[in-house]
Amino acid sequence: MMWWVYALGSAFFAALTAVFAKIGVSNVNSDLATAIRTVVILVVAWGITVARGELQGIQAISRHSMSFLILSGLATGLSWIFYFKALKLGKVSQVAPVDKLSVALTILLSIIFLHEDLTLKTAVGALLIIGGTLVLIL
């Protein structure tokens, strides 16, 4: 059940991220804002890793895992760049819901690439997310 606590924490901090980013990007180039945010995240993530003594695990990472972690990092970076540009131009109350379409897209990609099952509950949930996004942005 611990995943639920972490997921709620993620949602809470993602919400703060959107609000703080909108304020921060108002008079700053969105690419520069993304770069600043990335440095902060880099320092925090490496600081936690070192403080918890988990750095020695880096040698055990396979090429396969490292390749996909790098691809994930590239996707995250591109996501942030687009997110900050969208926040610069749009309302956070519209940008954030569109960004959360990633949930429905993730479900689709997990079915295609990870061969996860599409249950009725998952399909209805994804459709509700898409519908809710449309309601919020139109």
- Both 44 and 7 in one domain: the answer is yes
- Both 21 and 59 in one domain: the answer is yes
Per the listing, tokens 């998952």 go with 122
**pTM score:** 0.84
Q: What pLDDT is attached to residue 102?
A: 94
Cα 30–chain centre separation: 17
Domain count of the fold of the chain? 2
Domain boundary among the residues 69, 90, 111 is at 90
Q: What pLDDT is attached to residue 138?
A: 86
In a domain, 95, yes or no: no
How far, in Å, CA of 137 to CA of 39, rounded? 31
DSSP state of 58: G
- Both 7 and 72 in one domain: the answer is yes
- Both 85 and 19 in one domain: the answer is yes
Which residues have a Cβ under 8 Å from the Cβ of 84 and sit 6 or more positions away? 21, 25, 30, 31, 33, 34, 37
- Both 8 and 69 in one domain: the answer is yes
How far, in Å, CA of 36 to CA of 1, rounded? 34
Q: What pLDDT is attached to residue 137?
A: 87
- Both 54 and 72 in one domain: the answer is yes
Q: What pLDDT is attached to residue 36?
A: 96
How far, in Å, CA of 108 to CA of 132, rounded? 17
Quote the domain boundaries for residue 135.
100-138
- Both 59 and 82 in one domain: the answer is yes
Which residues have a Cβ under 8 Å from the Cβ of 133 and sit 6 or more positions away? 97, 98, 100, 101
Which residues have a Cβ under 8 Å from the Cβ of 31 and sit 6 or more positions away? 81, 84
Mean pLDDT by 10 residues, the chain (138 residues): 90 92 94 96 97 94 97 95 94 92 95 97 96 91
**Length of the chain, please?**
138
Q: What pLDDT is attached to residue 1?
A: 83
- Both 120 and 71 in one domain: the answer is no
- Both 60 and 84 in one domain: the answer is yes
